[in-house]
Structures are given as C-alpha cells and as structure tokens.
Structure 1
Amino acid sequence: MTVLHHVTYGKTNADNGTVVLLGSIGSTTDMWLPQLDALSRDHRVIALDHRGHGSSPVVPGPATIEALAADVLETLDTLHVEDFAVVGLSLGGAVAQYLAATSPRVTRAVFMCTSPKFGTRESWIERAAATRSTGTGALADAVIGRWFSPGFLESRPATTNHYRTMVASCDDEGYASCCEALANWDFQDRLAEISVPVLTIAGGDDPSTPPETLQGIADAVSGEARAEVLSPGAHVPTVERPAEVNALLQEFLGA
C-alpha cells in the first residue's frame, strides 16, 4: 500500500460528507479542478494521484486494481476519513468499482467514462512495454485524441496543450504499471456486488468507453442506478463539459 499525493478542499466536517475523486491513467488532480471548486462548497472533496502519477510515489513493477484501491484507503486513513462517496473516471472508475463492491466505507459511487473491462490484456501489456521503451511523451498526442472530442481539440488549443503536457509528464514506470493493472482488470461478473446508489456518466463521443458500456454497468449493479450521457463529449467530460458534470454530481451527491 502507498500513501498518495492528494489535494483537499471544503470543510473537514461538511454536512454532506466526503467525496473522493480518482482520475484517468496519465492524469493528475488537475483533471478535477472544475469539480474541486464546485463540490467544495458543500462537501469535503479530496482528489488523489494514483501511484506513479503527479506527485505520488512511484512503485516499480506491475500494479493491480486491488492494490490501487488499497492505496486509496491507506491515504484516506491518514486523513481520518471514514465513510465517503467515490467518483472515478476511466482507471479511477475501475478503482471506484472495486471500492464500491468491497469496502463498506463507500456510501455511493459515480462511474464516469469507465468499464468493467478495458480492451484486451495484450493491448495493455504492449502499451506498458512501449511506455517503458519510448516514454509517455511519445503517446501523449494519441491519448489526448481520445480524451477530447474533435471540436474541443480545435477550439481549445491552450487547454489541449495543458493536458497533453500532463500526460507527457507522467512517470514512465507509473504509467506502465497502471497499464498492467488494466491488463488484468475484469469485473464484469462482480458488478452485482455493488449495492450502493450509482450514477454513471458517459461521453457521447467517447471511443474508449462508449455510452452502452456505462449503461451496462448501471444495468448490472444491484443498487439503485442511473445512467447519463453528455454529448458532445469524449473521455474526459470533467474538463470538456464541466458545468453539466458538476450539476449531475451535485444532484446525485446531495448539495
């Protein structure tokens, strides 16, 4: 287990409780800036960097989703957080699924642009090897092309460059390790273990985790679930559609 770098805003004893934000592979807590601002008015809100991402320590070798989830709980222990709502995007959504199914500390869950299984094991193992060989800078353009819709990329060059730099600055081993976690991630047969209230959010133009994938999660969990689609929008609606994401989160989490 690893204590992760984090940022926290809002009151420690906020009436509406603690919300934990877990981002995509290749991201930092900056992925959540619009949500940190909006949610901190009513909640204690904490965003974390996965191991080997942002300012979190690098842990050499393959990771697992279970280990990444343990990192989250270990970090929350140091912050004296007991119950919390979890919001996860992409890789963070996989970690959130595992936490929602296995930890009684989770009160409700938002799964955003994520999946119970991402592609093939071989593709992630190949990406891990390529990252260790050529670095995250070599894949940054391709990643950003999946994160945002074509219209957003064209109209927001400065924002696009900021997030391209974010991906390129991710530690090579940290990125590769999380690729290996996704290579072995398959939660399709365990979604029914999630009994807390669930909100799924999909990007209508997301090539990685299309709306039907998020609808499938909502249909498979055993708790009350609601599925929303934001269009236009690709893999990172927290940045591309912040007002709509914030409104959905505030309604679901209780503002």
Structure 2
Amino acid sequence: MAMGDRGSVALHHVIEGPADAPPLVLLGSLGSALDMWRPQLPALTPNWRVIQVDHRGHGGSPVPAGPYTIAELAGDVLALLDRLELDRVHFAGLSLGGMVGMYLAAEAPERIDRLALMATSAGYPDKAPWETRIEAVAHGGTDAIADAVVRNWFTADFAAAHPDTVDWARDSVRKTPDLGYLGCCQAIRDWDHVARLGEITAPSLMICGTDDPSTPEQPHGATIAAGIPGVRFELVRAAHLLNIERPGEVNALLTAHFGG
C-alpha cells in the first residue's frame, strides 16, 4: 500500500522532452489539469523529461470516493514514479502540488532530488474558508465557486488584459469533477506539515506571488521560508497562478534551480 490509508490510483500524466534527460515532475493547483503548465514547456522540455501529472479527482485521473489526504495524493505520485521506474526526480509543485511536494520531500526524501514550490502553504491555521468552500461545492458543485476561485488566480490587470486565459481558468475549475474537487479541499483543510519542514533536505526554491490572496507571503510563504533549511525564497509580481501570469520570471527561476 502507498503512503495513504487506502492505496493509490493510477494518475493521468503526459511526458515531454528527451527520454534520457533528468526527470522533472510538474504537479498543479486545485481545480486545474496538466495544461496549466503550457507556459513552462518551451523552457523545460529541451533539458528535462517533463512529467505533467493530474491529481486524483482532476483532469484525466480517476475520481475515487473522498475525502482524500495529502498523504494519499503523495502516494499516488510515488506509485506513478514506481510505474515509470524512476527512483529519484526533480519536483515542481504549485499550490496543492506544492503541498504534495513538501510531503514527499519530508517523508520520502530519497525520491526527491531538487524541489521547487510555488504559491503554496504548509498548513492553514484558519480552517473556516475551507469549510465554507467545501459546503459550497457540496451543494452547488464546482460551478458554484469557479468565478470566486479564478478571481484569486490572476491580478485584476492581468485578467483584464487576458480574458481568454480567465475563460480557460473558469472552464478548468468547472470541468474538475465535483467529488474530486471536494476530496482535495478536504485534504487541504486537514493539511499541516509545518513541523516537518525541517526534515526537507532537497535543495529547495520557494516562489511567492506578491498579490496572491490564496497563499500570501504572510503567513504561508514566510512559514515555508523559515522552515525549510537553506531554501531560496523569491517573490514575483503575480497572484496565485504565478507560473501563468509571470512565465518568463518563473521559467528563469526554475531552470536555474534545476540546473539548466
């Protein structure tokens, strides 16, 4: 059995880049699928074997009954690495993907080479917003929260200049299966890895958005910056999906961190 209590599911994934290049896993946010990484592919695929992954309950992955735990989401990733016969990988995760990355780097350190975290949290002291969102999705599905979620994903200026990206983002949330979204919300509500951050030995990069209402620098980025030994901490002018809003800066930070 994997890291979770109930075993793993076979995650949907797409691999691009040279077969003999160092493997790099990309794992995204709640309410997204692997297409959220399109802005990174031109920078990453020349030098890495880029493995883009859908969380359980998202995109093309199975939707088991919830609630889920971050340990189970991490177990899914380990099972995928085992299937791909990859002992050790670089890992980049944004938001929920970053939580999975922190769990893996602390609890299965032999599997993670270098770690990049973006717009993420080691735990939410205030559970109330997650309870509210869980209730909204339980009653109205992902349709009920799509507009509110996407308002946090991009700054107002970026959203006004890129309406097509905003439309894509809303569709991404709405297309996420209600049960999968709900299960992952419950995992995030119950997530608290602050006390384990000191166990992370992988060389780590944390990128925080200056205008991110979902995982602001205080307390989220600052907690991670204080907790992971030797972490490099960077700020970019963006909201939550900073990889889409500031791809040039983010890609430069990622390629430097992973050794490109």
**Shorter-chain TM-score tier:** over 0.9
Q: For 1:138, which of 130, 133, 144 is the aligned residue?
A: 144
Q: Does 1:215 align with 2:222?
A: yes
Q: Are 1:21 and 1:87, in contact at CA under 8 Å, matched by a contact in 2?
A: yes
2:157 paired with 1:151: yes
1:50 shift after superposition: 0.5
Structure 1 range deviating more: 114-123 or 144-153: 114-123
Determine if the alignment matches structure 1 residue 230 to structure 2 residue 236. Answer: yes
Equivalent in the alignment of 1:105: 111
State the shift of 1:23 in Å.
Answer: 0.6
Aligned to 2:3: none
Deviation at residue 119 of structure 1 after TM alignment: 5.2
Q: SS of the counterpart of 1:145?
A: helix
Aligned 1:6-45 pairs, distance under 5 A: 6-14=13-21, 17-45=22-50
CA distance in 1, matches of 2:123, 2:215: 10
Superposition RMSD in Å: 1.2
The CA deviation at 1:145 is 0.3
Q: Does 1:170 align with 2:176?
A: yes
**Is the CA contact (8 Å cut-off) linking 1:4 and 1:49 kept in structure 2?**
yes
> CA-to-partner distance for each residue in 1:23-79, whole Å, 9 max, x for gaps?
110000011111123111000111111011011010112000000000011112111
Contact 2:122 2:223 in 1 (8 A): no
What percentage of aligned pairs have identical amino acids? 46
Task: Give SS of 2:232's match.
Answer: strand
Size of the aligned set, in residue pairs, is: 251
Q: Distance in 2 between matches of 1:9 and 1:147?
A: 26
Q: Shift of residue 215 of structure 1?
A: 3.1
2:101 corresponds to which residue?
96
1:187 is displaced (CA, Å) by 0.8
How far did 1:91 drift? 0.7
Maintained 8 Å contact 1:26/1:53: yes
Match of 1:5 in 2: 12
Equivalent-residue separation in structure 1 for 2:129 and 2:69 (angstroms): 16
**How many Å apart are 1:152 and its aligned residue?**
0.6
- In structure 2, what is the equivalent of residue 60 of structure 1? 65
Partner of 2:259: 254
Q: 1:144 touches 1:164 (CA, 8 Å); kept in 2?
A: yes
Q: Distance in 1 between matches of 2:124 and 2:183?
A: 15
Superposition deviation, residue 102 in structure 1 = 1.2
* Paired letter, 2:150: I
Question: Is residue 200–residue 215 contact of structure 1 (8 Å, CA) maintained in 2?
Answer: no
> Does the 8 Å CA contact 2:133/2:145 hold for their aligned counterparts?
no
- Does the 8 A contact of 2:194 with 2:223 survive in 1? no
TM-score (norm 2): 0.93
- With 209-218 and 179-188 compared, the bigger mean Cα shift is at 209-218
Could you tell me which runs of 5 or more consecutive residues in structure 2 were left unpaired when the two chains were aligned: 1-7
1:123 CA displacement:
3.1
CA distance in 1, matches of 2:134, 2:125: 14
AA aligned opposite 1:228: E
SS at match of 2:181: helix
Q: Distance in 2 between matches of 1:119 and 1:143?
A: 20
2:207 paired with 1:201: yes
